[in-house]
């Protein structure tokens, strides 16, 4: 088959969310929505829904390394992102792979789920800081994560800007402090080592923000994989996550997921109702079916 455009590839190294709003599932949907072929290396399996995390199984580090090596030896990745890494052992294994494969890396330093359940062991914060932060091209802490990484309370925009500088000094080339947890507007602070930029958006009044951090960091990785400059990738990801929250389908009884394919919907109509988009191949399927005994 004739190839019309390059196939961009991005790898997510993260945990599975059975509710599919966050984690590896959110990342793969984001990659697909942004036209990037998504690869995945699972770090942990969680039994989770929109209301909370019920159980967690961390996978052996050797299996995590084996997944990364398997996909990179064969397919390769133009960019990668990390999500839930759960322990020092996992972080060590992932850092070793990132170095060996020279990956362009977006780190979402996931520490807790939206409902407060821990997703990273406390003992692992130091390993995250010393082993992974220096390898990160971009890091995207939310406010509580930035507080842990800086050891300071962060409330005001000035404190967010100071935190971005402190975290930048720990190794990442680009720092985005996410403001989703602010009571006021969800302003994100972006520092590239020289300039501070405020990324502004209106607060959307909704409980459905499960997986916003995963989706945001996956969008940055996807846009980097597509060859966009890092600053453009970050600003683009902010627009993308804002639209995804705006079009959240409103499912589940807690913090519901966002709509990853929002820009392909018409006025927010969910995709499955738009059968005209798939009518060419679906009509072929119906023709085949009508050619047999089963209707």
Ligand X SMILES: Cc1ncc(COP(=O)(O)O)c(N)n1
Residue number, 137 or 188, with CB nearest to ligand ATP: 188
Identify the active-site residue in 150, 212, 215, 242. Answer: 212
Should residue 90 be labelled a site residue for ligand X when binding is judged by CB under 6 A? Answer: no
- Distance CA(86)–CA(160), nearest Å, equals 25
212 catalytically annotated: yes
- Distance CA(114)–CA(157), nearest Å, equals 22
Interacting residue with ligand X among 11, 12, 20, 23 (CB under 6 A) = 23
Q: At closest approach, how far in Å is the CB of 139 from ligand ATP?
A: 12
52 burial class (0-12, 13-18, 19+ CB within 10 angstroms)?
middle
Q: At closest approach, how far in Å is the CB of 289 from ligand X?
A: 38
Tell me the two tokens of residue 132.
């992974």
Should residue 211 be labelled a site residue for ligand X when binding is judged by CB under 6 A? Answer: yes
Q: Are 104 and 82 in contact (CB under 8 A)?
A: no
- Distance CA(58)–CA(188), nearest Å, equals 31
How far, CA to CA in Å, does 37 sit from each of 6, 212, 226?
10, 20, 10
Q: Are 92 and 61 in contact (CB under 8 A)?
A: yes
Identify the active-site residue in 38, 213, 243, 256. Answer: 213
Which residues contact ligand ATP (rule: CB under 6 A)?
A: 22, 114, 142, 178-181, 186, 188, 201, 203-204, 206, 209-214, 216, 238, 241-242, 245
Q: At closest approach, how far in Å is the CB of 48 from ligand X?
A: 6
Residue number, 19 or 61, with CB nearest to ligand ATP: 19
Q: Which residues are catalytic?
A: 178, 209, 211-214
């Amino acid at each position: 088959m004739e190839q019309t455009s390059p196939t961009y590839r991005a790898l997510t190294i993260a945990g599975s969310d059975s509710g599919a709003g966050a984690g590896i599932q959110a990342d793969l949907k984001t990659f697909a929505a942004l036209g990037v072929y998504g690869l995945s290396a699972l770090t942990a399996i969680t039994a989770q829904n929109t209301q909370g995390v019920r159980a967690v199984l961390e996978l052996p580090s050797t299996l995590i390394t084996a997944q990364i090596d398997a996909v990179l030896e064969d397919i390769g990745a133009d960019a990668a992102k990390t999500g839930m890494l759960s322990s020092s052992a996992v972080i060590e294994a992932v850092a070793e792979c990132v170095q060996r494969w020279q990956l362009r890396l977006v780190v979402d330093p996931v520490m807790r789920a939206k409902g407060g359940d821990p997703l990273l062991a406390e003992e692992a914060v130091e390993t995250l800081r010393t082993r992974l932060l220096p390898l990160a091209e971009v890091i995207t802490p939310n406010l509580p994560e930035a507080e842990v990484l800086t050891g300071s309370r962060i409330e005001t925009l000035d404190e967010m800007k100071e935190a971005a500088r402190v975290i930048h000094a720990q190794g990442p080339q680009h720092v985005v402090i996410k403001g989703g947890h602010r009571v006021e507007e969800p302003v994100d602070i972006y520092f590239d080592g020289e300039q501070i930029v405020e990324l502004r958006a209106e607060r959307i009044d909704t409980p459905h923000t499960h997986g916003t951090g995963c989706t945001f960091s996956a969008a940055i990785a996807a846009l980097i994989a597509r060859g966009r400059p890092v600053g453009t990738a970050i600003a683009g990801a902010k627009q993308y996550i804002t639209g995804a929250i705006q079009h959240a389908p409103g499912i589940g009884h807690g913090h519901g997921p966002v709509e990853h394919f929002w820009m392909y919907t018409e006025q927010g109509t969910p995709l499955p109702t738009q059968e005209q988009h798939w009518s060419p191949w679906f009509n072929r399927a119906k023709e085949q079916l009508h050619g047999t005994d089963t209707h």
